[in-house]
Amino acid sequence: AVVSTQGTGSFKLFNLIRTKGGWKWRINLPAISDHIADIRGYPTDVKPSHIPTLFPYGGRSDYMTPARVQEARRLFPNSTFVEIPDAGHIVHMDQPELFYTTVRDFLMVHG
């Protein structure tokens, strides 16, 4: 596998496990690769959910573009977006304490 960014590299290394026969992926990377468009896309045929929803996202990630935020707000009108600085796409691995605090604070209000 090619490690393209520090965030995806951390994700891949976290999911690489040692077995008796050597190394293997904990996750199914070929399936993820084959369906990345579906994974990254938003469903278009669902009704909006009005449940309070938290979207913590990494400040160094290019995933939460303005268009994705707009679509997520359409699907989750009662949503909160929190940028986690110095984190890539795998926020909970890059900034675990700040991620935990963000989720905890959100749940204290909305939980």
Residues ≥6 apart with Cβ < 8 Å to 36: none
Distance CA 100, CA 105 (A): 8
Token pair of 104, please?
């905890």
Distance CA 105, CA 55 (A): 13
pLDDT attached to residue 104: 97
Query: Among 88, 109, 95, which residue's Cα sits nearest to residue 12?
Result: 88
Distance CA 66, CA 40 (A): 14
pLDDT attached to residue 3: 46
Q: 10 Å Cβ neighbour count for 103?
A: 16
DSSP H or E stretch at residue 34: helix 29-34
pLDDT digits (tens, 9 = 90+) for 29-71: 788 889 888 877 767 788 999 999 999 999 999 888 898 899 8
What's the mean pLDDT in 2-9?
Answer: 53
